[in-house]
Chains A and B, each alone.
Chain A
């Protein structure tokens, strides 16, 4: 059973900011050690959905939701759950690289330090940077400011930073949209590699990217009332070759609106 049990699962998830509802009735499951892509037009609540998975939406005062999000079978939004504990296990990479204005080393060491990591910090940092395929580029300048890196390197540093807290899931919110094609390719290869050990959820605007890297794809689309619903969720191959819903087909083939 554990084999096929989704690591993150949403049930009847409905999210609003104040009076404005964003997504409604989302039921989906994120398979362990697979890459799940969330696609959909701008404003369809992709990032909102992603941010429910590590409770980042809690930081927005007007946020409220109904339904539930399960992480490894446990309710993420249960009163007994500490959101900061959750975020050790579910890392996140953002749209724009956002390294701290500290050294490369301190960026990666930040998570372990705040989580009270006891052990060989230097080894953990090295291992994390290696996994993010950045080690050879930065090994001689770990003390330099992270802002001296290029955009693509900064984004891989942010991935290394997320890996350093040893999460089980990595959420990526359009991780390549601020990057050039070469950096994008590097990140995509990295994602494929990381999916052996981690479950990855990626929000992307880029359908080719979803088709290239992901195993599963979820398609969100706003209804008439502007609230988005999950139109279709299936294996990526299925979505892109044989979509069941005509709206999905219209979106992926570019015949939209």
Chain B
């Protein structure tokens, strides 16, 4: 008679009855292939990023062998294509800041308010109409926006004031604001709608009005998502090319005046790429220096947004 102990020993040390052993590789091999394919797909974007950044840095380094970084960052004239060359990026930076800040002035209030409307006020039927229409805005090609700015918005602005040039930062800012509006409103609305219903009910039960519920409970709780939407939209505005190239002009001017022609960093890169500047010359290398600067700016915006999101959100549950 076997004791319970030895019966147990036999049970755990005996051969494992591997019913499906012969079929095992048939399932295992595809699994490995799939894993490899998926890994490759995810690595493509990393390689691309690394490639782009290293080209930017390499070419920009060649540029900075001929032009000092101090001059690049402090000179207020940008005339690399003229006989008397100046390599101060500040006019391009002010052009970029002017247009993207202007765009945010348009997109932030409008986007946030439409997000509040869609998330807190709109009946379902209104939301089902307004949201897709807003998202159509995001699907319009930017070149169309550019000509919309130049041929529609600018004439209106010029009819209001004679001080406004044909090419100006204001018109480009307004239209760029409209372009990024769906991004701001859609992402903010998503963040607001994901605030739990119980928090809204708690506030309503204390006699809060819809506006008070929106501004004192929902927006603070959704703040991280809203800030992320704003910063993502700002990055988009900084990197936007077509609208500013068409409507804002190609005059690098160190100014924050929205009525005169300016040039943004992106528009300058287009100008050189399309022009007859020979490859390999110092003039041509400027676009890599400008591109690198642009990359540094948008990267720091993204890092800033991550920091803000972590720092200021009101965590619910």
Contact = CB atoms under 8 A, between A and B. Distances in A.
Contacts of B233: none
Interface in A78-95: 84-88, 91-92, 94
Interface of B is mostly: helix
A200 interface: no
Given A84-B207, A87-B206, A111-B207, A102 B212 contact: no
A56 B201 contact: yes
Measured as residues with beta carbon below 8 angstroms from the partner, the interface class of chain B is 20 to 34
B46 to A, nearest CB: 36
A162 B206 CA distance: 7
Interface string A67-82: 0000000000000000
B204 interface: yes
Interface in B187-246: 196, 198-199, 201-209, 212, 216-217, 220-221
Interface in A15-37: none
B204 A100 contact: no
A114 B202 contact: no
Contact of B205 (A56, A145, A147): A56
A153 B300 CA distance: 42
Given A101-B221, A147-B317, A165 B198 contact: no
A161 interface: yes
Nearest to A58: B204
B205 A85 contact: no
B198 A96 contact: yes
B217 A100 contact: yes
Contact of A114 (B124, B201, B212): B212
Contact of B124 (A59, A61, A111, A115): A61
B207 A87 contact: yes
Contacts of A158: 202
B205 A88 contact: no
A98 B206 contact: no
Contacts of B217: 100
Residue among B206, B208, B316 with max Cβ neighbours from chain A (10 Å): B206
B207 A88 contact: yes
A75 to B, nearest CB: 19
Contact of A91 (B205, B209, B221): B205
Interface string A137-167: 0000000010100000000001001100100
Contacts of A91: 205-206
A63 interface: no
Contacts of B204: 56, 59, 84, 87
B135 interface: no
Contacts of B220: 101-102
Contacts of B205: 54, 56, 87, 91-92, 94, 162
B223 to A, nearest CB: 10
26 contacts: A56-B205, A59-B204, A61-B123, A61-B124, A87-B206, A88-B206, A88-B207, A91-B205, A92-B201, A94-B198, A98-B196, A98-B198, A101-B314, A101-B316, A102-B314, A111-B207, A111-B208, A114-B203, A114-B207, A114-B209, A115-B207, A145-B315, A158-B202, A161-B206, A165-B206, A165-B207
Q: Which 8 A-B pairs have the closest CB atoms?
A: A111-B206, A92-B205, A101-B314, A98-B198, A88-B207, A87-B207, A98-B202, A101-B316
